[in-house]
Structures are given as structure tokens and as C-alpha cells.
Structure 1
């Protein structure tokens, strides 16, 4: 029988009354592997009809002995409650920071997603697999103490992975009994799970990172106002912008590119050559709060940058009535970095080409042309070293993590309506400028 069939057969077995309600639906997991791969597995009820098929060997190597592993996941209330999403995201970020300290700091951490068997957004939980290579009892005690410190909802779930003499893998969940004592409950067998057609996080992207319209991003920052005065300040500026803006008679050109592709230099040179207004996203009026939002979880950062695009759109509408407009980054940057950050694993796990997540928001002013500057990874490293410029954590990850960089680059190339026109930025500045200007004049014949 195929692994998926064995999984269904196992999950269909009779369940003990005490756990039947909890196991009405299996829990599936996507575990990020070294090098950017993903391993999928599920936990099912303990059966009595003999051994189950083992999970993916790559997952088994990280879950089973030697050593001991723990799954720590943060639940989110069903529906589109932004306040609950924000609370869950901030709790997970706080847990990540605490897991890197004290007795837990020596453990290995890997991104973990928990999702329903259908692979949809419903029931999606973000979390971490913590592996203790020494199997120290101090690790379990520190984790339970960490759970005790989480006094407000949502409270994270904790499962401990163990192996038996027959080389079967089990997860033993921890539950709080009587509000006072943590105890392990009935074990759940670790079994194979088929890889879903789409990465489990993709259906959730419109609510967590690639916001399809202004109101979706606005709702996230509205949920942040009780603890972030900067969120209220940004919303006040956004609410001053018209909901629908029209571009003027002059063309709008966006220049995109990774850090160290020469984007800033080329953008300024193009603006000078075209006698164009030069704008930037995020705009100057909110850049003073950029660091505050960069320190927050991804869903909050994305809402900030998304709303910055709508403020820039209002500036574009005014400026394009008087002259051409050149914009240093816009929506494509916001979306590409969000997709690459949220979708764990390697390039092959990204949403496929033509997926709706790559489509330009219908309520955002659309440019005439998007130019994407590209250089080889080796050239980027050569340029970036020694520059000493302040960079965001994601820009630093571009340098350190080739898988993340590849996901950003591929996400850029899949954007549609409008797509990106790539220009090789490796030659001299003069040659790159001439190539960009030639492309602009070819695509924007209305230029004087």
C-alpha cells in the first residue's frame, strides 16, 4: 500500500474514547530541512494492528533518537481575526528569542508548520522543532517552564517525540491538567503524510503577508495600535490618502532589485536623465518608524510596507501630473520578500507561476513599467562586502542564505500585471543606465 494509503488506513482505525474528539482530524506537519527541503509527516492515533509505515527518513533523522525533539506550535483562532493573528505572531517571535537563551540555547531550531490534512489555511499553526542532541532532562524542564510563562491566549502546544524498540516514532503531547500541572497524554504515532499540492502557508498569504488590498493591511496595523503608537501614526497618514487615485499624463517607472544591484544609483541617474520626480517606498513620511516595524513579526512588517505603498501611490498620482515619475521599489518588493519569508523550504515550494499571489492589487496605482536589476550572486557579494550600510534582517539574510535569495529572485520574476523587465546590472554604471533608459523609451513612447 502507498504511504498515503497507509496513513488513511491508520487514521481510520478505532480510537479510544478519551482521545476520539481530539483526533477527529489528523495533524500534519511540514518540517524545514537543512538546505531548504521540506519533510511532511502526520501524527495519528495509536493502533493495535501492527507497525505503521515509517515517516520520511529525513524527518525521522530529526525527530527520533539519538537525541530528543519537541514540537512547539502557536495556535490561531479560526477566521480572520487580525488581533488574534497579531497576538500569535508576537508570541511566536517571543518564543524564538527565549529558545535561543539559557539551557535551550544549545538546541537546534527548525521551522515547523502544523496544518490540516487538506492543506488549506484553516488550522494553520506556525512553530518550531527544537532538537536536543544530548537528550537532557533540563531541556524538558525549561520548555515546561516556558509554557508556564505564557499566561495569555493563545497558549502554545508542546509535543515530545520518542522512539520505541521497534523503531516506531511517537509524539507525546503535553497538556495542562487542572490549570496547575503539565502531564503527557496518550501518544500519537508519527506516520507518513503526502505533500500537499500547494505549500501549506500559501492559502494563508493574503491574510498574513501578501495583502490583496489596502483594507487587509490596514486591519493588521489597527490591531497593533494598543501596543504600538507608530501604528496609529501610520494609519493616520494612510487615512489621509484617497482610496482611489488616478495617474497623471506622465509615465511611472519602478526600479526594483536586491541590495547591492546598484538600484539606488541607477534610480537617481534615471530620474536625472528623464527630469522625473524621484519617489521611494517606504516614503519619507513613515521611514522614521521603519526600525520599529522591522523589529516586529512578519505580519506586522508586511502591513507597514504594504500601507507605505498606498501612501506612495498618492504621491505618484500628484507627481505624475507634472512630470515622469521614477520609484525606488514598490509593491513587487513587498510581495517578493513576503513570499520568500513565509514559504519555508526551497524554490520548488513557492506558489507556481500565475498563482493569484503574484497579481498586482486591484486598488493600488499601477506603474507603466517595472525594471528589475539583476547581478550574479558572486557580484552581489563582491559589492556588498565592506560597504558598511545599515540593512534590514532580510537584507542580511540575502547575503547569508542562498536559498532565501533564490526565492526572492524567482518571486520577482513571477510577478504579473505588470511583470518585471530584467536588466543585467553587472556592467559599468554608464552601460546599465543606457540599457535601462533604452528599455524605458521603448516601453513608454509617451515620454517627450
Structure 2
């Protein structure tokens, strides 16, 4: 590997050791597996490193076809907030800076079956004549100590990987060859989902916003709102019914109709008290954004506990939405990459109030797009993604259906609002006591 260091104050051996420790605290470099989302409709391409030359076959040959201009980078470090924001900033910079001749793929490095061992990054194939990506990556690494960059070179049927740090005087090269690896039993992103993309207790989400307090002032205001909520335990009260579904499936129309017909209280998640902060947190990377929405569910739970003592409660979205969108976003590629149906990642948080019934509204993609167009409202990034990315929509819908305890009851929302309301009333009468 080649190491380029910014200072001669440490010996080469000391510098290499420090860099490796910072990057790969979960295990040695050669014990890690690397994954590249080369084709969103297939498995990621997996490889490891070896000290001996390895012959590449098939997809690996295709991935490393132009090794003179191939690079990858990974974001490491112990500060999870800084790591998440750095990854988001790099993603934006690569998109804004690199030319059309540069292909950028999502990539990760992980220890098999080791939770929270995933380092997120990117794999870059530069087909330009100027090799702009190399200069961009050098600049990024000089600015960020938490960025590790690899370059790749080809030698016949073999390919090796080199690592470099911020550019300066010292240089040393030791080859680490690319070795094809078997596909992981589960998509690597699933190793980092728990209490990072999806939160399974309030304390974990609360800690994330505490860690953000110095860089995101709004975090303090959100935490203050959480602290002000009474920790009410729900007793024997009226039924709580959650209405879920993608945007423009008829949730608003149905929830309003149920409020009137059942003389119920209507609540929404996230609650209105968090509305002034949504735009701010929607612009943050997933770790921070998900923690914000998780806390919104706990505030909503407090409202549910109070209101269900007086009347039936209808809730427009709740934990299912938070989890389904988070899992679909975190897991790259095809629907088959989602956590298996029996995965604990679909389990309801033990400390979050459970509803009596969850209804998932569905319509055809064409009908949903038509309704969105008719509404003409601003959409979040994820809602906009649903319109143009059928694969993402399928993953969200499948994640909805896999959440357990309680699971969703699917309702076809294509008919008229009156027919949908009739269907729902029938389901409620059969399951809930009024």
C-alpha cells in the first residue's frame, strides 16, 4: 500500500499504525469485506484483500475494468455525528463536482455479522481524460482526517489496492490484492440500522440530538419539547387506530372521515409542535433526521395516551412510517436486500405505546402519481424519490408489510372515499370494541 503523510514528526511505521487503528477499529484490514452497489437490481459486488495475487472473474472483472482511474473512499471515526455529516457532505460534493465521465457507486466496508462495523463510502470510476476525481479526493482527504481513500491498479488478471492519506513527502508501497468474496448473508447496511437508521427506544434517539446540540441549535429546542411531555402510561381506554400509507394514498381524507364518523380525536405524527423544525432536520443526514422523527413518535404516544381516555383516537402515520422509510433508504439496491421478514429490525420498540389497529392504504403507482400531481404540494426528498424510483417505492411498501406487533392490515384505497370508509368501518367493527 502507498501511504502519503502530512508530517515527518512520526516514523512511517507509527503513522501507518495510527491510520489503520483509526480506520478499522472493528478488525484488521484484511478481515474486512468491501461491497459496491454496482447494479441496483443485483447483489452488491463483494471483495476482500489478500497479500497474494488473485484472479478476478465475471462481475469483479467488470468492476475493475479500468484500473488506472479507479478509486474508493470511506468515512471513519468515533464521532458518529461528524461521520454522518461528513459522508453527506462528500456525497453532495462528488455529485456537484465530478463530470459525467465519472461513475459514483455507493460502497461500504464491514466485518461480517459484526453490528455497527459498516464504514460507508463511495466507489468511483473516472473515464475522463483529466482524472478530475483524483484531485477532488486529494482535496477531500486534506480537509478531512476521517476520510480514507484507496486507488486501484491492474496487472493482467490481477488487481491491487493502495491506500493514501493527505499528500506530503513520505511514500511507501505494499500491494494488497483484490480477492473476490462470497455474497453476505444479509445486505451489509443491515448491520448499522439498529438505533442509527431506526430507533428502538427513546433514549437512543434522545442521545443523538444531545450530541448535535452544539452544531444544530434546534436540537436543544426539540429536546426541551420532549422533556416537557408528561410520561403518561396508557390505561384501559378507547381504541387507537393508525392510518399508514405512501403520500397521496388517501390518508388525510380517510382520517378526517373517521374522526367525524367515530367522534374520534385525530392526531398526526410527527406532531404539530415539531413542524417548525422539520425543514431543518430534513436537511440533515439520516442518523440525525431519523432521531428527530423517532422523538416525534414518542411525543405523539404521550398525546395518544391522554386522548384515548376520552375518545377513540385516529393517528395519521406513526412508527410504521418512520421505520419503513428508514429501512428502505438505508438498504441499497433491490427489494431482496431488505432485512429478512423475521428480522428483529421489524420489531416494534418496547417503550413505545402500541395502537390497537394499523391500516395500510395502497393504490396503484399511476393513481398515486395522478393524485400527487393534482395536489401540487411541496414534497420531501423521500416523497419525490417515490415518484421517480419504482424500486424505492417497492422497498418502502414491503418494509411496511414486514413490521410486526402490530402488523399492518392492507386496504385497497383505489375506490371512492365513501367505499374506502365503508371497508375501514367493517374492519374496525370486527377488531375493535367501542
TM-score, L = length of structure 2? 0.89
SS in 2 for 1:389: coil
1:103–1:420: structure 2 CA closer, same or farther, 3 Å change rule?
A: closer
SS in 1 for 2:375: coil
SS in 1 for 2:87: helix
Give 5+ residue unaligned stretches, structure 2.
1-12, 21-27
SS in 2 for 1:285: helix
1:344 Cα deviation after fit: 1.3
The more displaced of 283-292 and 135-144 is 135-144
Contact 1:176 1:183 in 2 (8 A): no
Contact 1:109 1:129 in 2 (8 A): yes
1:353-402 Cα shifts (integer Å, max 9, x gaps):
12111111111111000000011222222322343211111111111111
SS in 2 for 1:344: coil
- Tell me whether 1:355 sits opposite 2:349 in the alignment: no
1:391-436 Cα shifts (integer Å, max 9, x gaps):
1111111111111111111110001100000000111111111111
1:199 Cα deviation after fit: 1.7
- Tell me whether 1:63 sits opposite 2:68 in the alignment: no
The equivalent residue for 1:128 is 122
2:306 to 318, 333, 338: 318
The equivalent residue for 2:191 is 203
1:67 Cα deviation after fit: 6.8
- Tell me whether 1:162 sits opposite 2:159 in the alignment: no
1:58 Cα deviation after fit: 3.0
- Tell me whether 1:334 sits opposite 2:322 in the alignment: yes
The equivalent residue for 1:137 is 131
1:385–1:35: structure 2 CA closer, same or farther, 3 Å change rule?
A: farther
Contact 2:222 2:274 in 1 (8 A): yes
Distance 2:190 2:96 in 1: 31
The more displaced of 364-373 and 243-252 is 243-252
Contact 1:309 1:330 in 2 (8 A): yes
1:26 to 21, 24, 31: 31
1:62 Cα deviation after fit: 3.1
Aligned positions, number: 413
SS in 1 for 2:194: helix
Distance 2:171 2:263 in 1: 70
Contact 1:248 1:317 in 2 (8 A): no
The equivalent residue for 1:6 is none
1:247 Cα deviation after fit: 4.4
- Tell me whether 1:149 sits opposite 2:151 in the alignment: no
1:135–1:44: structure 2 CA closer, same or farther, 3 Å change rule?
A: farther
The equivalent residue for 1:230 is 218
For 1:283-302, list aligned pairs within 5 A.
283-302=271-290
Contact 1:369 1:418 in 2 (8 A): yes
Distance 1:433 1:127 in 2: 46
1:328-347 Cα shifts (integer Å, max 9, x gaps):
00000000011111111211
